[in-house]
Amino acid sequence: MTTYFKHHVFFCLNQRENGEECCMNKGAEGAFDYMKSKVKQLKLNGQGKVRVNRAGCLDRCGLGPIIVVYPEAVWYTFVDNEDIDEIVESHLVNGKVVERLVV
């Protein structure tokens, strides 16, 4: 079976009410926009390459912000755009998991 994308990245962009802990309160939207731009800038997007998608709650709120990369099913957390750069370069480009960011 051939997969449509080499890597499919899902960002938890869930917003909880009443100030409950959630990825949206931890900068997930900005990181999503940043990774999507970075992937396009590097021409990594498209069929057979990388797709970056929004996701609802991934149910790991206390560990967030959270992204998951398929088909490897690697769950990452991140702090800033430098972490996103490292995930893009190491995992999406070179196929090497960024162990320090794995949840």
Domains in the chain, CATH or no CATH each: 7-101 (3.40.30.10)
Quick check: 71 and 29 in contact, CB under 8 A?
A: no
Q: What are 47-91's pLDDT values in tens digits?
A: 999 999 999 989 888 888 999 999 999 999 999 999 999 999 999
Q: What's the confidence (pLDDT) of residue 8?
A: 97
Q: Beta strands 7-12 and 66-70: pairing type?
A: antiparallel
Q: What's the confidence (pLDDT) of residue 67?
A: 97
pLDDT bin (cut points 50, 70, 90) of residue 1 is low
Backbone angles phi, psi at 55, to 5 degrees: -140, 155
Q: What angle do CA 33, 37, 42 make, to 5 degrees?
A: 150
Burial class (CB in 10 A: 0-12, 13-18, 19+), 24: middle
Q: What are 25-48's pLDDT values in tens digits?
A: 888 999 999 999 999 999 999 999
